[in-house]
Amino acid sequence: MGILGGDGFSLPVVSETEVVDVNLNFTDKAIRALEQNMNGDEDTHVLVISAQSGGCSGYLYDMKIIKRPEDEGFQQISIGGINVFVHNKDSSMLNGIQIDFKETLMGGGFQIENPNADRACGCGQSFG
């Protein structure tokens, strides 16, 4: 079977982080941009905002429009009739973020300001 066994260990799994009730702030421009991107799929699709390791500062933001996930670990926030989902594991990192939308040719798109971040990368996509 080898040192790592066939079916895994009966050992403690590292547990995930603190869960808080998420509050998100969208600017009017960000809501309009979101509505355009949803393109009428509001009933079936949701916006998932998440964080994962990476980038120069430790964590990277990710935003995806996907079919409503079945995972029960999400918190659901309604923004202008659009369902925005944040997973519990990201809740403490993303609580209180402000999402804006900048219409510039260079570096435009959704911009996130995070009050929980001690630092951010110059590109604005990485925080820590």
Partner 1 sequence: MRNNASGEEYYVRAQSVTLLQGNDSTNVIDRVVSTRIVDSPDSHGIDVLFCDYNGRITDHGSIYKIQEKILLLSSEEMGDKTRKTLIDGKSWDEQCDLIIADEAIGRVSLVSADFQSIITRMGFEGTQLERNRVMEIGDMIAVKSEFPGGSVLDILLPRNQMSDFISILEDAEYSEMSDDRWNFVRLAVCIPSLIDIRGNLPNECGMINRISNDKGCYPGQEVHARLDSRGRTVKRLCLIMGESTISPGKYRLSNGSPAHITSCESSESVSYGIAKLRVDDIDSGYVNLDGAKWKVEALTYL
Regarding 107 and contact with partner 1 (CB under 8 A), the answer is no
Stretch that binds partner 1, among 21-29, 57-65, 76-84, 99-107 (CB under 8 A): 57-65
**DSSP string covering 74-123:** EEEEEETTEEEEEEGGGHHHHTT-EEEEE--TTT-EEEEE-TT-S-B-TT
Regarding 116 and contact with partner 1 (CB under 8 A), the answer is no
Q: Which of 41, 44, 54, 76 binds partner 1 (CB under 8 A)?
A: 54
What does residue 32 show for φ and ψ, rounded to 5 degrees?
A: -60, -45
Nearest distance, CB of residue 64 and partner 1, angstroms: 9
Stretch that binds partner 1, among 5-13, 26-34, 76-84, 104-112 (CB under 8 A): 5-13
Both tokens of residue 2? 């080898």
The contact pattern for partner 1, residues 7-36, with x = CB under 8 A and - = no contact, is: -xx-xxxxxxx-------------------
How many other C-beta atoms are found inside a 10 Å radius of the C-beta of residue 13? Answer: 7
Regarding 56 and contact with partner 1 (CB under 8 A), the answer is yes
For 61: left if phi > 0, alpha if psi spans -120 to 50, otherwise beta; the answer is: beta
Regarding 53 and contact with partner 1 (CB under 8 A), the answer is yes
Regarding 87 and contact with partner 1 (CB under 8 A), the answer is yes
Regarding 114 and contact with partner 1 (CB under 8 A), the answer is no
Indicate if the alpha-carbon torsion angle 46, 52, 55, 57 is positive or negative: positive
